[in-house]
A and B are shown apart, each in its own frame.
Chain A
Amino acid sequence: MAAGTCWGRWPRYEHRIVPLRNRFEPLPDLAPLLPYGNGRSYGDVCLNAGGTLLSTRAMDRLIAFNPTTGVLECEAGVLLGEIIDLLLPHGWFPAVCPGTAFVTVGGAIANDVHGKNHHRVGSFGHHVLGFELLRSNGEVLQCSADSHSNWFRATIGGLGLTGLIRKVRLRLRPVESRWIDGDSRRFASLAEFFEFTAASDRDYEYTVAWLDCASSGRKRGRGVFMRGNHAPAPASVIGAARFRPHRRAPTLRVPLTPPISPVWGASVRLFNSLYYHRRAAQQTHISWHYRNFHFPLDGILEWNRLYGPNGFFQYQCALPDTHALAALTEMLELIARSRQGSCLSVLKKFGAMPSLGVMSFARPGVTLALDFPNRGLRTLGLLDSLDAITREAGGAVYPAKDARMSAGAFRQYFPAWEEFQRYVDPRFSSSFWRRVTAA
């Protein structure tokens, strides 16, 4: 038995960890099984207390790449960051990037992750051409939109419960350089955010906002709106130099877990205020390295330790447009009053494209992501109050980031769960799944 952790570092369970060396290995006879990629899910969707985690990180081989179409076939344990390192020099980039490049392709499918370009290209599942699914009865299903399409749709966003994804065919997108060109501007209120995003989503592939969650009253709903497009190749740089490799990416690491988290009231308010007022928040032209734009936190390894020994919660909800402004206002007020503010609050408008997965999270509307150090019942109580607002608004909470939503809330957010249950492999399960399907 060994640890096996999630990114929020709460909850913690003991597991039997079975590494899969390659895509040819059979499943061990050690139910309940759960595929485990790089452990970047925040809560217990990647945990399986007392059961087996099938570690897929050693299953990380490239199988084929077509340099004309940008179609990559690889094993499911390959990291998005590895794909970028290898194929950006040839002018290809993942069509959808979540906030970290340290996720496996299998995990990106299982959680049907989304990025800052959701309004343009949908979520990760939209760019998966097909995959091979191994069921515990030994059956191997080649899934795509045309073949076993019901399994295809159940497995995208299927939280690893439908079987083991062994290999994947992905469509990448061409880019001309490693830079993202765009701008950044402050907004004073949520209403202004909605104006900015409505005005930008047509001309900008990537849009996202950071929100100051620690301020209330007149400052409530202020934040920084960023937008950008992949930059064309600079005329002065010829050939592969514009993708120049950069091997030594992350330079900092949080070396240990502080006994008391430095993320608390006053420091959070200070951070939020500084972030809002810094000069870079208001600039008419910014050229970001893709890494700083897409994966700003990847530069600090193990940043999740900063939340102290008790870990932290993420709360990410999607709210339908009709109720979004009212619900967000209510949430911000509640958070400010609780004095449990969050540093990494992100607001993003989802596009209208329906997700492919039966259980996918991304849906038309607005999504808000927040983080809270785990202060026990106080924090859980706040999150339950946020859930009440999300439920009232007809929204949903993202399983990939959850460690605590109630079974009742889950069933309201994902009414297709009963249909989905038919596709859950009888020998697969997760702590999350047992929690939200408990009677």
Chain B
Amino acid sequence: MKRILIVGATSAIAEAAAREFAARGDALFLVARDGLAVQAIADDLMLRGAAAIGTALFTARDLEGCVALVDAAVQRLDGLDQALIAHGSLSAQAACETSTAMLHEEFMTNALSVMALALALARHFTAQGHGVIAAISSVAGERGRQSNYLYGASKAAVSTFLSGLRQQLYAKGVRVVTIKPGFVDTPMTAAFKKGMLWATPARVARDIVRAMDRGTPVLYTPWFWRPIMALVRCVPENLFRRMRG
């Protein structure tokens, strides 16, 4: 049995991962904004086999509260082995371009809060000499595209941050996993037309659980995004700037 903290537990990917954890009998601490929704998920996970469940309400703006949140999870689960940071928001690009308040809000949610949480977790895991910190970044963080470069920039910040943290914590026995999903069919992306490249949250969640157990440094899920993004990274800016989409 593992003791796992999940932040952003009402997101489709996090919930699918939580079901994988519950099915194998892990103990979970679920953190989200919406109390009613997170309690419904907690009840569901208990029936699916979770050994124990705790919940807490938290908003991404509360950077100062991250340490207390990790402490609460440790206390409730009597220790902590892994953490999955899964919250995020798909920024409305056009709105962010004209509103600095929204720009600030998006970076707070997608980047700063992830970093603050990861640092709080790093402190705890370093002290105990083991642990896994996994956070959901995105393939969108690898290249700025005109349709969503604010979202992409916040995810790029997370990926770079995690890369450094991974190096720093390696010798201390703590593993840091950067998760880069491609297109996932979730409520967040309901408005998009779905094609061949789209994956289900359940499929992505299985990859995430395996990567967390193995301590995989960077997970592309589904796997084919690794070669796709390798190609996309190779396109010179000179050419990239002319491309549409």
Which A residues form the contact surface with B (CB < 8 A)?
2, 17-19, 21-24, 55, 58, 61-65, 75, 86
Contact between A21 and B41, CB atoms less than 8 A apart? no
Q: List 28 A-B contacts (CB under 8 A).
A: A2-B193, A2-B194, A17-B190, A18-B190, A19-B190, A21-B12, A21-B37, A22-B36, A22-B37, A23-B40, A24-B36, A24-B37, A24-B40, A55-B190, A58-B12, A58-B186, A58-B187, A61-B41, A61-B44, A62-B47, A63-B40, A63-B43, A63-B44, A64-B47, A65-B47, A75-B40, A86-B47, A86-B48
Selected from B43, B190, B194, the residue in CB contact (under 8 A) with A62 is: B43
Nearest Cβ distance between residue A243 and chain B, in whole angstroms?
14
Find chain B residues with CB under 8 A from A86 CB: 47-48
Complex CA–CA separation, A22 to B190 (angstroms): 15
Q: Indicate whether B10 reaches chain A with its CB closer than 8 angstroms.
A: yes
Complex CA–CA separation, A307 to B86 (angstroms): 41
Selected from A17, A18, A58, A64, the residue in CB contact (under 8 A) with B43 is: A64
For chain B, which range describes its interface: under 10, 10 to 19, 20 to 34, or 35 or more residues? 10 to 19
Most chain A beta carbons < 10 A, residue from B10, B12, B36, B190 = B190
Find chain A residues with CB under 8 A from B48 CB: 62, 86
Nearest Cβ distance between residue B203 and chain A, in whole angstroms?
13
Nearest 7 interchain pairs by C-beta: A61-B44, A62-B47, A19-B187, A19-B190, A62-B44, A24-B36, A21-B187
Nearest Cβ distance between residue A181 and chain B, in whole angstroms?
29
Complex CA–CA separation, A61 to B43 (angstroms): 8
Instruction: Report B41-79 CB contacts with A as 1/0, cut-off 8 Å.
Output: 101100110000000000000000000000000000000
Complex CA–CA separation, A65 to B47 (angstroms): 7
A85's closest neighbor in chain B, by CB? Answer: B23
Selected from B40, B47, B194, the residue in CB contact (under 8 A) with A22 is: B40
Find chain B residues with CB under 8 A from A18 CB: 190
Complex CA–CA separation, A58 to B16 (angstroms): 10
Nearest Cβ distance between residue A380 and chain B, in whole angstroms?
30
Most chain B beta carbons < 10 A, residue from A55, A58, A75 = A58
Complex CA–CA separation, A23 to B41 (angstroms): 11
Nearest Cβ distance between residue A313 and chain B, in whole angstroms?
26
Complex CA–CA separation, A86 to B49 (angstroms): 9
In the complex, besides A19-B187, A21-B187, 16 extra interface pairs with C-beta distance below 8 angstroms are A2-B193, A19-B190, A21-B37, A22-B40, A24-B36, A58-B12, A61-B44, A62-B48, A63-B40, A63-B43, A63-B44, A64-B43, A64-B47, A65-B47, A86-B47, A86-B48
Nearest Cβ distance between residue B232 and chain A, in whole angstroms?
26
A78's closest neighbor in chain B, by CB? Answer: B44
B12's closest neighbor in chain A, by CB? Answer: A58
Complex CA–CA separation, A61 to B19 (angstroms): 10
Find chain A residues with CB under 8 A from B187 CB: 19, 21, 58
Most chain A beta carbons < 10 A, residue from B10, B41, B47, B193 = B47
Interface residues of B in 191-244 (CB under 8 A from A): 193-194
Find chain B residues with CB under 8 A from A24 CB: 36-37, 40
Interface residues of B in 166-201 (CB under 8 A from A): 186-187, 190, 193-194
Nearest Cβ distance between residue B84 and chain A, in whole angstroms?
19
Instruction: Report B1-31 CB contacts with A as 1/0, cut-off 8 Å.
Output: 0000000001010000000000000000000
